[in-house]
């Protein structure tokens, strides 16, 4: 993975057909996804359950871009090696998941993955100010994690603060939750480069009819890029 700040669209397979993940992943990649965003939920850190490392390992066989795994679980550390073995390229854990996020991030890198840290809406940018040498990605949640299809919470100020804190460091700013062609420009203008979108990518399409995925991805990308070009 080479680092760049160009806008990247990362469809979340939380909005895919859960009985057909392989074909759904191939469809979104064929329709222009830059990364594939995989949401792991434990029913404890967040009020929903999705899937764990064995499922993520099965997804890996279908991903040819970047597998971006967002773990909404606590504790984190006992599962890091399992996600490395499952083939995660990036593993993003929440700063709120436990008292030792610095240790978790070091363990993620030691296991051979890029390390991401996610911030819930209530958590300030300053929570990561002492972590910047230990992370490759900061994920700003623009919904409370747990479900797809929720209403966007504007975190422009937080993204701007993070962008200034990060400076020239090779750290991605990812936005997760409620991203569509109307909200993507706000986040891109504030300094985000990775836009996760679930419902706004999968709506209107299916594995039998994947063209709407491509239309949706292109619309989010165009809206975000227009905002960046205006800066
Ligand atoms: C929310 C997940 C998101 C979710 C985004 O907890 O982390 O990745 O799938 O879904 P939308 O784009 O529908 O808000
Ligand atoms: Zn996510």
- What is the domain extent for residue 221? 8-229
Ligand 1 pocket: which of 24, 40, 120, 148 to mutate (most atoms within 8 A of CB)? 148
Which two three-digit tokens encode residue 90? 């990036």
Beta-strand ranges (E) seen in 66-161 are: 67-72, 90-94, 114-119, 137-141
What are the pLDDT digits (tens) for 72-101?
999 999 999 999 999 999 999 999 999 999
Which two three-digit tokens encode residue 158? 């937080």
For residue 142, give the nearest of 114, 105, 183 by alpha carbon.
183
Query: Is residue 157's pLDDT more than 90?
Result: yes
Query: Is residue 4's pLDDT more than 90?
Result: yes
- Name residue 12's beta-bridge partners: 37
Distance of CA 131 from the midpoint of ligand 1 (Å): 24
Which atom of ligand 1 is nearest the CA belonging to 15? 9
**Pocket lining: 56 vs ligand 1, CB cutoff 6 Å:** no
What are the pLDDT digits (tens) for 26-68?
999 999 999 999 999 999 999 999 999 999 999 999 999 999 9
Helices 211-230 and 21-30: crossing angle in degrees, nearest 10, is 50
Query: Is residue 1's pLDDT more than 90?
Result: no
Cα–Cα distance for residue pair 174/139, rounded to 1 Å = 4
Q: Is residue 83 part of a domain?
A: yes
Q: Is residue 1 part of a domain?
A: no
Q: Is residue 172 part of a domain?
A: yes
What is the helix (H) or strand (E) element at residue 176, kind and residue range?
strand 172-176
What are the pLDDT digits (tens) for 171-221?
999 999 999 999 999 999 999 999 999 999 999 999 999 999 999 999 999
Ligand with minimal distance to 11 CA = 1
Whichever domain contains 160, its CATH number is 3.20.20.70
Q: Is residue 152 part of a domain?
A: yes
What is the dihedral angle through the alpha carbons of 76, 81, 87, 88, rounded to the nearest 10 degrees?
30
What are the pLDDT digits (tens) for 101-154?
999 999 999 999 999 999 999 999 999 999 999 999 999 999 999 999 999 999
**Pocket lining: 14 vs ligand 1, CB cutoff 6 Å:** yes
Q: Count the domains in the chain.
A: 1
């Amino acid at each position: 993975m080479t680092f760049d700040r160009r806008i990247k669209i990362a469809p979340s397979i939380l909005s895919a057909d859960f009985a057909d993940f392989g074909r759904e992943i191939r469809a979104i990649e064929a329709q222009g996804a830059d990364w594939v965003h995989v949401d792991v939920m434990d029913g404890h850190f967040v009020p929903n359950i999705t899937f764990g490392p064995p499922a993520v390992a099965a997804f890996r066989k279908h991903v040819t871009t970047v597998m971006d795994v967002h773990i909404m679980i606590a504790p984190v550390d006992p599962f890091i090696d399992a996600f490395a073995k499952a083939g995660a390229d990036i593993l993003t854990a929440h700063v709120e998941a436990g008292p030792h996020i610095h240790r978790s991030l070091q363990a993620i890198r030691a296991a051979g993955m890029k390390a991401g840290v996610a911030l819930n809406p209530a958590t300030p940018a300053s929570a990561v100010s002492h972590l910047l040498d230990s992370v490759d990605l900061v994920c700003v949640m623009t919904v409370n994690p747990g479900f797809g299809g929720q209403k966007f919470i504007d975190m422009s100020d937080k993204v701007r603060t993070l962008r200034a804190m990060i400076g020239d460091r090779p750290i991605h700013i990812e936005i997760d939750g409620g991203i569509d062609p109307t909200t993507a420009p706000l986040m891109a203008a504030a300094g985000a480069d990775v836009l996760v979108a679930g419902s706004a990518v999968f709506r209107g399409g299916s594995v039998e009819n994947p063209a709407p995925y491509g239309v949706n991805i292109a619309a989010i990308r165009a809206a975000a890029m227009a905002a960046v070009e205006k800066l």
